[in-house]
Each structure stands twice: as C-alpha cells, then as structure tokens.
C-alpha cells in the first residue's frame, strides 16, 4: 500500500521531555491541503508480572491528566538511547515495583491513538519473580498491590481497570495461558 498523503513541510509546535507535537502541512488523500498535528512519544513498555501464586502486580497512582486514581500494570516510557526495549521493561519493572523477573515473554506491541499519535507500547509477560526494593522516580507516588490473575481479568472486563495497555496485556495473557 502506498502512502496517499504528501508532506509539504513540518515544524515542532510543542515539545517537553515526554511529548513532542509536530505540525505538518500536508496534501490529503483527496489532494486538498491541510494541517496534520502528530504527537510523538518515546516507545514505552507495560509488564504483566505474574508470581508463583498466579498473582499480578498492579501499581496504583494518581493520574494527573485524568484527574483520577488508577490501578494499572507497571508501565513506563523508554529512555533516550535505550534501544533494547526488553531492557527498558526490566528497568521499569525494577524501578517501579522492585521486581526482577528471570523469564520474559513478549506479548507484542500496541499502537495508541494512531490517528493523531506515534506511540507504541511493548507488552511483556514476566514470570519467575524476585522482590527487591522499588526505586520510583521522584514525581511518582506509587502503591504496589498483588491481585489474583482472575481478579485482574475481572477488573478489566468490568471496566475497573481501563488503562489501554494494561487491559490489552492482561487479556492477551489470559488467552495465552487458558
């Protein structure tokens, strides 16, 4: 399939350490001129950490953009220059929860808000866990909670756990394990 869009010019409309907004002057598929704002995020990771009791690690925190407290699986953005995404997942899990895992399995990746955004989150299933001390970032204020996998699945299906990557990763894990 060929790209039906033409990019005429591109500028950075907004940038901070986490997000960048690019605004392109384009010709649309119908040939008409337009503007396309594209939000660019660094690749990110999300991890289903499953212990020997079939419990999943959930992280609780206040999500400022939603103005709401949420429970999710451990997640985070990769760092600049962190090209090994599995390494990013190991780091993020270790920092947020203190968990190290000996066995890692990819659950694939998902693209978020792909109409306006270049944002890919890589999903992992981590098992054979060891619990050490967490080292969260200073802007994070996190709680760690273990729930049975069945409870996590119920939370997704009943819309109590509705963060996109967490939902996709838990549902994929269930399909893999059942």
- The tokens for 103 are 């066995």
Of 122-161, which residues contact a second copy (CB under 8 A)? 138-141, 153, 156-159
What SS3 class is residue 112?
A: coil
Q: How far is the CB of 88 from a second copy (least distance, A)?
A: 15
Contact predicate 98/135, CB 8 Å: yes
CA-to-CA dists, residue 5 to 27, 67, 115, 118, angstroms: 6, 36, 13, 16
CA-to-CA dists, residue 170 to 8, 14, 55, 58, 83, angstroms: 41, 34, 12, 11, 25
Q: Per rule CB under 8 A, is residue 118 in the interface with a second copy?
A: yes
Mask 5-44, x = binds a second copy (CB under 8 A)?
x-------xx-x-xx-x-x--x-xxx-x-xxxxxx-x---
Spatial separation of the C-alpha atoms in residues 38 and 143, rounded to whole Å: 33
Torsion sign over Cα 64, 131, 86, 78: positive
Q: How far is the CB of 129 from a second copy (least distance, A)?
A: 24
Query: Looking at 51-59, 90-98, 115-123, 124-132, which segment touches a second copy (CB under 8 A)?
Result: 115-123
Q: How far is the CB of 115 from a second copy (least distance, A)?
A: 7
Q: How far is the CB of 176 from a second copy (least distance, A)?
A: 8
Pick from 8, 10, 54, 69: which binds a second copy (CB under 8 A)? 69
CA-to-CA dists, residue 48 to 70, 97, 139, 160, 175, angstroms: 16, 12, 23, 17, 13
Nearest residue (CB) to a second copy, 77 versus 129: 77
The closest of 119, 157, 147 to 48, measured between CA atoms, is 147
> Which residues contribute to the site for a second copy (CB under 8 A)?
1-5, 13-14, 16, 18-19, 21, 23, 26, 28-30, 32, 34-39, 41, 60, 62-67, 69-70, 72, 75, 77, 108-119, 121, 138-141, 153, 156-159, 162-165, 167-168, 171-172, 174-176
């Amino acid at each position: 399939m060929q790209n039906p869009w033409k990019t005429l010019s591109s500028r950075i409309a907004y940038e901070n350490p986490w997000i960048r907004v690019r605004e392109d002057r384009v010709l649309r598929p119908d040939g008409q001129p337009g503007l396309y704002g594209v939000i660019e995020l660094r690749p990110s990771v999300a991890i289903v950490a499953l212990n020997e009791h079939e419990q999943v690690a959930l992280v609780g925190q206040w999500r400022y953009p939603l103005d709401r407290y949420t429970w999710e699986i451990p997640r985070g953005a990769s760092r600049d220059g962190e090209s090994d995404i599995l390494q990013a997942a190991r780091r993020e899990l270790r920092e947020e929860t203190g968990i190290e895992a000996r066995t890692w399995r990819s659950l694939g990746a998902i693209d978020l808000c792909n109409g306006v955004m270049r944002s890919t989150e890589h999903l992992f299933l981590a098992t054979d866990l060891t619990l050490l001390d967490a080292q969260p970032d200073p802007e994070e204020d996190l709680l760690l909670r273990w729930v049975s996998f069945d409870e996590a699945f119920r939370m997704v299906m009943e819309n109590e756990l509705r963060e996109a990557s967490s939902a996709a990763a838990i549902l994929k894990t269930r399909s893999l394990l059942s």
